[in-house]
Structure 1
Amino acid sequence: MVIYFVFLTISAATYALFSLGLNLQWGVTGLINFGHVAFMAIGAYSTVLLSLQGVPIPIAVLVGAGLSALLGLLIGISTLRLREDYLGIVTIGVSELVRLVAKNEAWLTKGTFGVQGYPVPFDFKPDYPTRILLIVWLTAICGVALWQLWLWLRVKISARLLGGSIASIFVLTVYVCGALSLYTYDPRAGLMLLTLTTLTVVYIALEKLVHSPWGRVLKAIREDEEVPRALGKNVFWYKLQAFMLGGAIAGISGAFYAWQFSVFPDNFEPLITFNAWIIIMLGGAGNNLGTIIGAIVFWGYNTITRDESFKVVFRALHLDDTQQGAFRVMIIGLVLMLIMVLRPQGILGKKEELTLGR
């Protein structure tokens, strides 16, 4: 049970990191990206292929992030001057192009067999002092998370209280399960610690950027790009920066996705992108902490509905395995429709953050 929760934590943190990149592009800047998974695929393949060639893992991850940013540059230069709907079409096309290249260029990506046997971080057996140090490290990360939640909950909004309570319980459970796993030591516990650390660093950096003058220009572009243009801002350059940075973050998440799951072309289908859209809509567009909480809620739902006790409901409805999967997706679709009608800013977002519905 403890190891399974560690798996759940890594998955939620990886998707949260992936969704933060999309949130910067769409939630903050207003750029529609339906092919965000392409950046994740570039990051995943670059990291594992380079590490197999003996490149140190940190450098491989940075190269993957750089190549993902380069892909953002190439897409942005050619499409960011177009209308938003054209950008969405181009991005989903690019994501499928990347997946098909990975599937067919076996000389580079191993094709449909995928990449296997690559090194992963923290795959060692630490001594007792090192395990204690790792537990202290986890304590610091969870302490930062609880502190950020407390700051966020000072504004007593019912939706925030609900989301904050869920996130607080999740953080405390992560700490208990993580500390137990680190003490007995399982390599997945080390990966969990690295994932949470990366997520924390990226979150803090994005919060500083979004609330800086640079971030305020991005929000102005999202609301009405003619206003910052009239004030002398280079709107295209700001859009390109946001698109590249969001792509680089997704590239980093691709490395964790590879270490957590596997690297096969069909693992990078458009559904991964739309899962990130679901997470952002749940958490609230433009809200970084809300995006992380949205990832927790999304993976919580995904886990609970796969549990054997919940499948009693499916059997009562006489649904087979295929129908059960479709039913779970249908429920998510209905929830999103209700959110868009009742709370277009997201369950945990602020209405004043967006002009949607005005």
Structure 2
Amino acid sequence: MSTYLISILMLVSIAGIAALGLNLQWGLTGLVNFGLFGFYMLAAYACARLAQLGWNPWLALLAATVLAMLASALTSLISARLSEDYLAIVTLGFAECLKLVAIHEEWLTRGSLGIANIPRPVAGDGALLAVTLALLAAVFALFELVARAPLGRTARALRDDPLVAATLGKPVLWLRLRLFALGGGAIGLAGGMHAFYYQYIDPTQFGPILTAYAFMAVIIGGRGSNRGVLLSAFTVVALLEGTRFVNDYVAWLSASQLASLRLMLIGLGLIVALIYRPAGLVAEYRLQVARGAGAPPA
């Protein structure tokens, strides 16, 4: 397998794990997370530092995932009484604070120099790709179980109308904490695999553009649909990487003009996808009841 193909599949797998986490938080539960890149970055730095301190890389990845879950739960708890718009602001502010820490606390993160030579749990890009694909499959299977379980139906009720869910006796706060933390764990897992793949991280790698890509994957795939998110993650990465070859046909453009053209092509591709599939590529799972199944006997 070529190095470029491995690189593409790694990007798709990592983006897919992060997008599945956002789909659980926002797509299924309705909790907006504009600070996705902050939880992603937190896990990447935690995983990198612990691995460099001599921890087993697998334990470092697990600890980083748990840390992202705890940070997500804490953020959700702080914003327990806030509506969607204000929750988005809180998560974005939290992520920006984390980025400032990464830039200025050199004793912990090495600042703008970044962290290099991050140990991997397995040797070779191919083996790491296999691990990442296995993690992607595990996260997908877990979130599909959640979506089809009573917890998933309650999450959709919470998304559609939290007041009605509370009136019916559902523990809204506890549900928000559990689901936001579970989605944050997936985002943290993606961040840890990012650190292992690149073996070097610095603050410039993490920014709101990561959040934008994850939201694009969820919107294009279909809000609440895990299968759609996997398909759209490949679509988004294919658009991002495929437009790099535009330079072969428009070599007379400058670097800045080429970058603008790439963004235009990506935007046009997304617009076309939303025009023809406004509800997403795959509809979310809904429990189907056979007609007449609950009707009393004649």
Shared fold per TM-score greater than 0.5? yes
Kept after mapping to 2: 8 A contact 1:279/1:294: yes
**Structure 1 segment 156-195 matched on structure 2, within 5 A:** 187-195=124-132
Which residue of 320, 329, 347 corresponds with 2:254? 320
Alpha carbons of structure 1 residues 306 and 3: separation in structure 2 relative to 1, 3 Å? same
Q: Would you say 1:311 and 2:251 are equivalent positions?
A: no
Secondary structure of the corresponding residue to residue 306 of structure 1: helix
1:45, distance to aligned residue in structure 2 (A): 0.7
Equivalent of residue 285 in structure 1, options 209, 223, 228: 223
Letter in 2 for 1:114: G
Matched, 1:295 2:229: no
Match of 1:11 in 2: 11
Partners of 1:120 and 1:195 lie apart in 2 by 12
Distance in 2 (CA, whole Å) between partners of 1:332 and 1:220 is: 34
TM-score, reference length from structure 2: 0.90
Match of 1:36 in 2: 36
Q: CA deviation at 1:242?
A: 1.0
- Whether the aligned pair in 1 keeps the contact of 2:28 and 2:223 (CA below 8 Å) is yes
Q: 1:91 maps to what in 2? A: 91
Superposition pairs of residues 194-213 of structure 1, within 5 angstroms: 194-213=131-150
Task: Return 227-236 or 104-113, whichever deviates more.
Answer: 227-236
- Seen in structure 2, the aligned counterparts of structure 1 residues 352 and 215 have a Cα distance that, compared at 3 Å, is closer
Change in Cα spacing, 1:294 to 1:98, as seen in structure 2 (3 Å) is same
Classify 1:92/1:314 alpha carbon distance in 2 versus 1 (closer, same or farther; 3 Å): farther
Aligned-residue CA RMSD (Å): 1.9
Q: Point out where structure 1 has 5 or more consecutive residues left out of the alignment.
A: 124-186, 354-358
Counterpart position of 1:69: 69
Quote how far apart the aligned CAs of 1:295 are. 1.0
1:57 aligns with 2:57: yes
Aligned to 1:103: 103
Letter in 2 for 1:207: E
In structure 1, which of residues 322, 331, 344 is the aligned counterpart of residue 265 of structure 2? 331
Task: Measure, in 2, the Cα distance between the counterparts of 1:203 and 1:22.
Answer: 12
| CA–CA separation in structure 1 for the residues paired with 2:137 and 2:284 | 22
**Distance across 2 between alignment mates of 1:9 and 1:338:** 24
Aligned residues: 286
**What is the one-letter code of the residue matched to 1:212?**
A
1:34 is paired with a residue whose SS is coil
Match of 2:282 in 1: 348
In 2: Cα distance, 1:196 partner to 1:100 partner: 32
In structure 1, the residue matched to 2:295 is: none
d(CA) in 2 for partners of 1:284, 1:231: 28
